[in-house]
Amino acid sequence: MKVLFVYPDYKINVDPRTGRMLGVEEGGWYMEGVASLSAVLKGAGHEVSLYHLTRPAPKGEFQATLRREGPDLLGFVTMTREYPQVREYVLWAKEALDAPVICGSYHPTTLPEEVIRTEGVDMICRGEGEDAILELVGRMSAGQTYSDVRSIWVKEGGNIHRNPVRPLIEDIDSLPLPDFALFDPAKLQSTRIRTGVVILSRGCPYSCTYCSNKKMRDIYPNKNRYSRFHSPEYSIEYLKKLLSTYPGIEYLNFRDDILPWKGGWLERFTRLYRREIGLPFICNYRANLVTPEVVRLLREAGCYQIFFGVESGNEDIRNRVLNRHMSREEIVRAFQACREAGIKTVAYNMVGLPYEDKSKVLDTIKLNAEIKTDHSLSPIYYPYPDTVLFETAVREGWVPAVYDYREDRYVDQPTLPPEQLYFVRYYFRPFVRLYRLIFRIPKPWGSGLERVADGIFKSPHLPHSALVALARFLEKTREGLKEALRKKSPRLYLLIRDRLRGVRRAGEG
């Protein structure tokens, strides 16, 4: 039996006030779930292919591709912001093929009723799909009924069979290695800059209110096993297969929420990694889990940059509103440990969070200045549906309960009106740099300058709209030049990037 996965991997941004399309963000990202499903299906003798859409497809081209592939089952990767595109593609697919359609990934898992009622959708998969799709395709291939497959919801006539979610796969080492070759390296942004994307774990153990992890975890009967990770030995075999599939890879990007650290996992993994892989890499970590020993092991293995979720410098926002359970002191210590070990840092922050105003954003800016992060990211908080924080924003009347997921949506609250929101988003980093300079100046002069800077930032009389327009132009120009360099001269791009980030091979220096 042949399965074709359709993966809309781009974002359309729409202005929530006017409905006008603001632009398209081209994709090109590897997706572990699809590669894993493909490996399972191919291992059972089925045929699998991927239609990877990194930009919108015209109707004729889309339908011609589907007819040429001729699948027996059409599977749509359905993320929340991409759901409106999926809805349209499904209708096109039904015109072109007489094949059942199934949707899987985050959106069908967290908002199943919305997706199963979508015209043209025959089935959805909730949660992990390997065992479910293997059973489904096996029954379809044998001509058996499949309306009772666990984790699959099936529309049959006027009925919907809402089957229970099967337990999580507790031993993820039992899964075959992902089918990396399913993806065309020419379409992947990471491989253009010789970087392999790596995921060695499943499920985050934390319950941040802005994230869907808690809602996703709660659907499983064995939800206490939600956070799992591959053994160090399996992980090395995973990396070897990735590198043999894409031999041009020179860097790795570990996309796990947190690399495992308990029970000696990190010691065993980094020892094997140094001996058998040895490529420089970046990873994510939680500041409250960082110790000098963790940083030392990562640095000796070749880690040159760590991404941390700071999110907010305001204690109330970070711990009560976001449920981060992380102290300011822990954040400061984590960045200091990385700095002392020679690892570059990136701080993830959000602006426009519920109950935030300019003063609270300023707390985040000052914390970023204090921790001396090498790079600060400050996107506007996007209220994803079916999260605790989204429900809070809806209850306060700051976000509509139903909206077009393509909208450039933000929390519309009186304490941070739109013109101020975009101002703090675009001037976050310049003010971080300003406060880093101010914090170096001895008191009382430094304290006086800090008060002046505070007054400027918090002033309601700034020409916010004009300043935002200028910043948007400069950012667009800068990002355009960087993207052009990345596409036209990836070697030069990497040379400059490595020099700025202090990249070196494991065992050097």
Tell me the mean pLDDT per 10 residues along the chain, length 509.
97 87 91 97 98 97 98 97 96 97 96 96 97 98 96 94 97 97 94 94 92 90 94 98 96 91 90 97 95 94 96 97 96 97 97 97 98 96 93 96 91 96 97 97 92 96 95 90 84 82 58
Q: Where would I find the beta strands (DSSP E) of 354-465?
A: 375-377
Token pair belonging to 502? 């202090």
Rounded to whole angstroms, the Cα distance separating 318 from 174 reads 38
Rounded to whole angstroms, the Cα distance separating 253 from 197 reads 5
Rounded to whole angstroms, the Cα distance separating 374 from 348 reads 11
- pLDDT at res. 118: 97
Based on the number of CB atoms within 10 Å of its own CB, is 357 exposed (0-12), middle (13-18) or buried (19 or more)?
middle
- pLDDT at res. 484: 86
- pLDDT at res. 505: 53
Of 475, 476, 363, 466, give the one whose Cα is nearest residue 423: 466
Residues 6+ apart with CB under 8 A from 245: 180, 181
The answer to whether the peptide bond before residue 444 is cis (omega within 30 degrees of 0) is yes
Cβ atoms of 206 and 160 closer than 8 Å = no
Cβ atoms of 12 and 55 closer than 8 Å = no
Rounded to whole angstroms, the Cα distance separating 284 from 159 reads 44
Based on the number of CB atoms within 10 Å of its own CB, is 432 exposed (0-12), middle (13-18) or buried (19 or more)?
buried
Rounded to whole angstroms, the Cα distance separating 213 from 127 reads 11
CA distances from 488 to 192, 480, 484 (A): 10, 12, 6
The three state secondary structure string of 109-151 is HHCHHHHHCCCCCCEEECCCCHHHHHHHHHHHHCCCCCCCCCC
Of 411, 405, 359, give the one whose Cα is nearest residue 389: 411
Whole-prediction pTM:
0.92
- Alpha helix stretches (DSSP H) within 246-379: 265-276, 292-301, 315, 328-341, 358-371
Q: What is the pLDDT of residues 33-87, one digit of tens each?
A: 999 999 999 999 999 999 999 999 999 999 999 999 999 999 999 999 999 999 9
- Give all domains of the chain, ordered by start, each with its CATH number: 2-162 (3.40.50.2300), 181-496 (3.20.20.70)
- pLDDT at res. 386: 87
Helix or strand or coil: residue 255? coil
| Backbone conformation region of residue 325, classed left if phi is above 0, alpha if psi is from -120 to 50, else beta | left
- pLDDT at res. 443: 87
* C-alpha torsion 125→126→127→132, nearest 10: -40
